[in-house]
Homo-oligomer: A and B are copies of this chain.
């Protein structure tokens, strides 16, 4: 396989990219100024050194020489009594954009699908246990399980509750779930019965 085909093969492994678009990416690079190409090459080579996983919440952040915790975990003003467990880094961005939450996070790194019996390697169950153990001395009161509203997300919630059962026994630490209801822009006509039920129960 020549260099062009190898490059295209790499791009074909990018998420959501098929053969035709991978080829376009390669042609795009062939047209770039040499300096851009050089910069991109160096960024690719160094990204795993410069962007590291936060030792607390596990999300990726750009290393800045100040430590191994991300800006949120390192912020003394965040509310240590709340820990929101999410599936992916991008969930944290969405929550932060809403400006509504001041607690801390933990990125589980995946879901526990309904028919799965053992944890995927990427799932950070042990890491979560450690963090909860550590935080229960420091005032942790609430684990907010913020998974997707589908069967796998719900199963992941149950899995996390059972995973932490011993850690929270004999503590006042509670588990909560994000509220269900009608989301912005949604029409009653297309809402499923479960969503309508929640919207009705949560009316105010």
Say whether B50 contacts A45, CB under 8 Å. no
Q: What's the minimum C-beta distance from A108 to chain B, rounded to whole angstroms?
A: 13
Q: What is the interface size of chain A, counting residues whose CB is below 8 A from a CB of the partner? A: 89
Cβ-based interface call for A99 (8 A): yes
- Chain B residue numbers with a CB within 8 Å of A4 are 47, 50-51, 60-62
| Contacting residue for A181 out of B24, B38, B39, B181, CB 8 A | B181
Q: What's the minimum C-beta distance from A87 to chain B, rounded to whole angstroms?
A: 8
With the chains together, A43 CA to B51 CA distance in Å?
21
With the chains together, A88 CA to B34 CA distance in Å?
22
With the chains together, A41 CA to B29 CA distance in Å?
12
Identical chains in the assembly: 4
Cβ-based interface call for A10 (8 A): yes
Task: State which residues 33-82 of A face B: CB under 8 Å.
Answer: 34, 36-48, 50-51, 60-62, 64
- Chain B residue numbers with a CB within 8 Å of A204 are 176-177, 179
Task: State which residues 126-180 of A face B: CB under 8 Å.
Answer: 144, 146, 148-150, 176-180
| Contacting residue for A180 out of B13, B37, B149, B181, CB 8 A | B181
Residue of B nearest to A90 (CB): B189
- Chain B residue numbers with a CB within 8 Å of A15 are 21, 24-25, 28
Cβ-based interface call for A94 (8 A): yes
Say whether B47 contacts A37, CB under 8 Å. yes
| Contacting residue for A2 out of B26, B62, B144, B178, CB 8 A | B62
- Chain B residue numbers with a CB within 8 Å of A194 are 98, 184
Instruction: Using known A-B contacts A43-B7, A178-B203, determine if residue A187 contacts B37 with beta carbons closer than 8 Å.
Output: no
Q: List 27 A-B contacts (CB under 8 A).
A: A2-B50, A3-B51, A4-B50, A4-B62, A10-B39, A10-B43, A15-B28, A26-B47, A37-B44, A37-B48, A86-B188, A91-B188, A93-B189, A94-B188, A94-B189, A95-B200, A98-B194, A98-B197, A99-B193, A144-B200, A148-B187, A149-B185, A179-B199, A179-B202, A180-B181, A180-B184, A184-B195
